[in-house]
């Protein structure tokens, strides 16, 4: 039976699952709700499935072209799948459905517990600070519609996200105008003619395109035009360049990144055509943005001043100024605003800046007639003083900027002389500043300021509403970004991989290039550890440039701070290279300075430094940079600051892990014996495998060392258990054996004293099985052994005739009883004989209910007649590994000794 939630229509009677034939049976929208695409995947109940589900939804929606709702869909899917696979512990099935007006995501699990409040119950859905249970709260906040359905075996949660309607625009014809009113153009207007094939690649590129952007045709033909786009979405619409190229007819502004790294703002007119074979392509005409009148569709005529249509119906003052249809996104609204303002006051340029939340800074968001790419997202303070907008809170007219330099910083160096600026206010709060400028002095008076203020009042509320909507989308996208970043950073403890992840998450999402400096300790200087650029060919030049300048100061103060050194160094390097190239041969001129100029262009924009602070210590700096004249958005800097905190903790964790791993491995290596001595007349071979990842020493151990009177002590033992505790007893046993044996004690005396030392450890003591012996090579070519086997697997002796027998008798193990009475046994190895000593990790190797055992080991040894000591050890280890498919769970050690046969002449 389905359960109805707040804000949702009840499902059809008797339905146990949503109707896959429609996104929402209760939705009566006019746009199509017929399912046009479906994708589904089932995820296992493991933690990594959450990240896999996010990637599945993101890839599916982006593949459908539904990028507007990807971030919300990813956040909701993450919460719902987490509830299923982590908290409920069941598999989760995710289904994505698309229709003409929206997408629907369905998440099903096998834990149908009814904890969802009824519509009128008034039960709280829990604290948002809880680890789980936030999925339905997020659905209520983000989704257009959502619901939950139950069956006896399943719980089924779905949510729907509506896609925004996109306006393509309408063409109109303009009236005839007198010659003096025609727009001014340069002596030579260049129109780039570019053709884009059905795959989005450039197929034609004329001479004007090469002149405007600096790329020769042979360099750019065959490459996607989107690779050279400077802005992620086209200003003026919510349509990206890739989408605009697929429309039948489109006009608008965007930026093309030129060969020298600068961004060229252009106005474009696109027309979709077919060739005689029916293949589609797009013809693009592009001019400089300040020459848009060459291509732009004529403006509509002004509405009647009375604010009423000719038919007597009322007209919205906003539409009277901005035109209809109004753009449905912030960039489009701002761009349309500055264009209308410029035309209204017959200006040469116009600009619009938006205020930060605290009204202390203004950020450039839209311009026309100015180098918009250079100024986009630049920020200036609002207060009075040089380089500040002191008049941002009230209308102001500057008849001649040359008399008050710095009054409007945005216009510095642009040639503009007169300007009028007015504030955009909503309920008394400053939200932005709108200005129109002209190249001539004295062009504007208070009358123009009043007209512009009326226009600003008409669009202020719409701008603020669109700005808040953009901030909400950015914050949702930031949440999705940080969720995925946290997963990636938490998934590794490798320092180098953490550095690479930090850089790859910021480039190109937040910055054009990135550098990571690390600090080992408070006495160390910052070290350049990683450099990344969105263009891989520029990484080496960028690394070399940063290597020539002093690193940024490691300041623990949170937040991003400007670092001008890279841009200054890049400019100086480009200037020096240009001077040096003056004496070069002409054919060396371009190649000599090309790399330096390219690097200077890529580093010449805004550069910021964020401290990496972990556990109250600065462990490094994250440096983010933009190409020439570009600036960071404040929202991106806030996101980068949040990312830097997570990255700093991950980097410090990887450092601590590496240090502890190095200490652990160093201590473990100290427990292993040094190089094995050469025993005259006896072959000796050892194979040692410690159980557990990262372990070099465990509970098993071996040793071979010289003792007085030309003899050699040897041992192989097994401490109860594995890991560090067992390794500690291993070190005690090995060092005690060497010390006691070299003092001249016999085998039983050595083991009895070792037994007392183990018992003295108290609660830390461990049981120990040990095979200890003394080896004395004889003049007749044999070897005499005295052996004590204290609870250890018995050594096996392989004779030349292939027979195998035990070479000792079992005696009590160590670490159990106070008083031990041990004895030693004598074994003589004749030429060709082999003595095999192993730990129980060899004999207890299991496959299901089968175990290798002593008998199985003896059978393996019987086939080793005539082999060297090394070959015997290798064959035994190979047989043990092949006995079972699973990895060994116990330590294993093999010690073989063989008396070689005398060589015959």
* Number of CB atoms found within 10 A of residue 309's CB: 12
Please state, in angstroms and rounded to a whole number, the distance separating the CA atoms of residues 401 and 626.
30
Q: How confident is the model at residue 602 (pLDDT cuts 50, 70, 90)?
A: low
Average pLDDT over residues 833-854: 89
Average pLDDT over residues 795-809: 92
Please enumerate in sequence order all residues whose Cβ is within 8 A of that of 711, keeping only pairs 6 or more positions apart, or say none: 774, 775, 776
How much is the CA Rg of the chain, to the nearest whole Å? Answer: 39
What is the residue whose two structure tokens read 């062009």? 443
pLDDT over 60 at 172, yes or no: no
Please state, in angstroms and rounded to a whole number, the distance separating the CA atoms of residues 421 and 453.
8
| Average pLDDT across the chain, whole number | 77
- φ/ψ of 451, rounded to 5, equals -60, -45
Per-residue model confidence (pLDDT) at position 805: 93
Per-residue model confidence (pLDDT) at position 661: 74
Contact between 705 and 673 (Cβ < 8 Å): yes
Average pLDDT over residues 261-289: 86
Q: How confident is the model at residue 643 (pLDDT cuts 50, 70, 90)?
A: confident
Could you report the per-residue pLDDT of 686-733, keeping only the tens digit for each? 998 877 665 556 678 889 999 988 899 999 988 886 666 777 777 788
Per-residue model confidence (pLDDT) at position 186: 57
pLDDT over 80 at 181, yes or no: no
Helix (H, G, I), strand (E, B) or coil at 443: coil
pLDDT over 80 at 433, yes or no: yes
C-alpha distances in Å from residue 477, one per residue of 262, 407, 472, 636, 803: 28, 37, 9, 11, 74
> Is the model's pTM score more than 0.75?
no
Backbone CA torsion sign across 882, 884, 889, 891? negative
Could you report the per-residue pLDDT of 104-117, keeping only the tens digit for each? 999 988 765 544 44
Contact between 517 and 550 (Cβ < 8 Å): no
Please enumerate in sequence order all residues whose Cβ is within 8 A of that of 897, keeping only pairs 6 or more positions apart, or say none: 679, 682, 683, 684, 714, 775, 783, 829, 834, 835, 837, 869
Average pLDDT over residues 487-505: 80
Could you report the per-residue pLDDT of 97-150, keeping only the tens digit for each? 988 788 999 998 876 554 444 333 343 444 434 444 455 677 777 788 888 887
Give the residue from 624, 626, 622 showing the smallest Cα distance to 526: 622
pLDDT over 70 at 319, yes or no: no
Tokens of 645: 């905190």
Per-residue model confidence (pLDDT) at position 242: 76
* Least confident range of 222-236, 499-513, 565-579: 222-236
Per-range mean pLDDT, top range of 299-313, 520-534, 737-751: 737-751
pLDDT over 80 at 539, yes or no: yes
Distance of CA 118 to the CA centre of its chain: 40
């Amino acid at each position: 039976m389905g359960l109805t939630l707040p804000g949702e229509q009840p499902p059809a009677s008797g339905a146990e699952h949503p109707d896959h034939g429609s996104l929402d049976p209760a939705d009566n929208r006019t746009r199509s709700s017929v399912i046009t695409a479906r994708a589904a995947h089932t995820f296992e109940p493991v933690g990594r499935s959450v990240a896999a589900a996010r990637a599945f939804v993101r890839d599916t929606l982006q593949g459908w072209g539904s990028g507007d709702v990807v971030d919300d869909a990813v956040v909701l899917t993450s919460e719902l799948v987490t509830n299923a696979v982590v908290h409920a512990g069941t598999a989760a099935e995710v289904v994505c459905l698309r229709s003409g007006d929206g997408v629907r995501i369905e998440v099903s699990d096998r834990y149908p517990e009814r904890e969802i409040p009824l519509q009128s119950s008034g039960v709280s859905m829990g604290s948002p600070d809880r680890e789980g249970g936030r999925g339905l709260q997020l659905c209520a906040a983000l989704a257009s519609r959502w619901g939950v359905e139950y069956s006896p075996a399943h719980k089924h949660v779905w949510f729907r996200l509506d896609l925004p309607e996109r306006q393509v625009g309408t063409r109109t014809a303009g009236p005839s105008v007198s010659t003096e009113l025609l727009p001014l153009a340069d002596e030579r207007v260049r129109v780039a003619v570019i053709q884009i094939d059905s795959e989005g690649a450039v197929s034609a590129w004329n001479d004007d395109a090469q002149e405007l952007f600096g790329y020769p045709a042979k360099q750019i033909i065959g490459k996607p035009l989107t690779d050279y786009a400077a802005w992620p979405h086209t200003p003026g619409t919510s349509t990206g360049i890739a989408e605009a190229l697929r429309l039948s007819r489109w006009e608008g502004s965007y930026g093309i990144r030129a060969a020298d790294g600068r961004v060229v703002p252009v106005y474009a007119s696109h027309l979709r055509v077919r060739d005689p074979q029916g293949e589609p392509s797009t013809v693009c005409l592009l001019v400089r943005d300040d020459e848009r009148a060459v291509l732009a569709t004529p403006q509509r005529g002004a509405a009647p001043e009375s604010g009423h249509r000719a038919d007597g119906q009322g007209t919205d003052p906003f539409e009277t100024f901005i035109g209809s249809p109004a753009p449905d996104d912030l960039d489009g609204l701002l761009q349309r605003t500055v264009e209308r303002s410029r035309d209204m006051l017959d200006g040469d340029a116009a600009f619009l800046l938006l205020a930060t939340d605290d009204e202390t800074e203004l950020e450039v968001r839209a311009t026309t007639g100015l180098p918009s790419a250079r100024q986009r997202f630049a920020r200036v303070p609002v207060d009075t003083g040089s380089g500040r907008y002191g008049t941002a809170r009230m209308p102001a007219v500057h008849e001649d900027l040359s008399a008050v330099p710095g009054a409007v910083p945005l216009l510095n160096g642009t040639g503009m002389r007169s300007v009028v600026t007015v504030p955009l206010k909503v309920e008394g709060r400053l939200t932005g500043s709108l200005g129109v400028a002209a190249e001539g002095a004295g062009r504007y008076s208070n009358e123009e300021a009043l007209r512009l203020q009326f226009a600003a009042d008409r669009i202020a509320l719409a701008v603020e509403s669109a700005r808040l909507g953009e901030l909400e989308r950015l914050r949702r996208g930031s949440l999705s970004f940080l969720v995925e970043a946290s997963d990636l950073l938490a998934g590794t403890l490798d320092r180098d991989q953490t550095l690479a992840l930090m850089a790859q998450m910021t480039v190109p999402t937040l910055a054009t290039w990135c550098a990571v400096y690390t600090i080992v300790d408070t006495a160390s200087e910052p070290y350049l550890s990683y450099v990344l650029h969105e263009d891989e060919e520029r990484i080496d030049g960028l690394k070399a440039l940063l290597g020539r300048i002093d690193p940024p100061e490691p300041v623990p103060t949170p937040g991003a701070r400007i670092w001008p050194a890279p841009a200054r160094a890049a400019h100086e390097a480009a200037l020096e290279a240009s001077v040096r190239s003056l004496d070069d041969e002409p054919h060396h001129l371009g190649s000599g300075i090309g790399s330096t100029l390219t690097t200077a262009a890529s580093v010449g924009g805004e550069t910021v430094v964020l401290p990496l602070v972990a556990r109250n210590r600065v462990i490094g700096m994250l440096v983010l940079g933009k190409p020439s004249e570009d600036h960071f958005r404040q929202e991106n800097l806030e996101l980068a600051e949040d990312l830097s905190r997570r990255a700093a903790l991950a980097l410090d964790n990887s450092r601590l892990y590496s240090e502890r791993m190095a200490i652990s491995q160093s201590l473990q290596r100290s427990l292993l014996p040094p190089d094995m001595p050469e025993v005259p007349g006896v072959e000796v071979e050892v194979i040692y495998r410690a159980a557990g990842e990262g372990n070099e020493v465990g509970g098993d151990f071996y040793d071979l060392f010289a003792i007085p009177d030309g003899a050699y002590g040897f041992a192989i033992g097994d401490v109860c258990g594995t890991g560090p505790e067992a390794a500690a007893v291993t070190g005690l046993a090995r060092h005690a054996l060497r010390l006691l044996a070299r003092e001249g004690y016999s085998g039983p005396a050595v083991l009895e004293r070792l037994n007392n030392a183990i018992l003295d450890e108290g609660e830390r003591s461990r049981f120990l099985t040990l095979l200890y012996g003394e080896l004395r090579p004889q003049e007749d070519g044999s070897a005499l052994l005295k052996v004590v086997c204290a609870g250890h697997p018995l050594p096996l002796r392989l004779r030349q005739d292939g027979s195998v027998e035990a070479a000792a008798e079992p005696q009590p193990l160590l670490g159990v009883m106070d008083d031990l009475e041990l004895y030693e046994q004598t074994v003589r190895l004749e030429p060709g004989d082999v003595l095999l000593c192993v730990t129980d990790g060899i004999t207890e190797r299991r496959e299901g209910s089968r175990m290798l055992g002593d008998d199985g080991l003896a059978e393996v040894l019987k086939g080793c007649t005539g082999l060297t000591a090394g070959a015997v050890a290798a064959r035994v280890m190979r047989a043990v590994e092949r006995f079972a498919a699973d990895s060994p769970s116990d330590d294993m050690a093999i010690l073989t000794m063989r008396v070689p046969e005398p060589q015959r002449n």
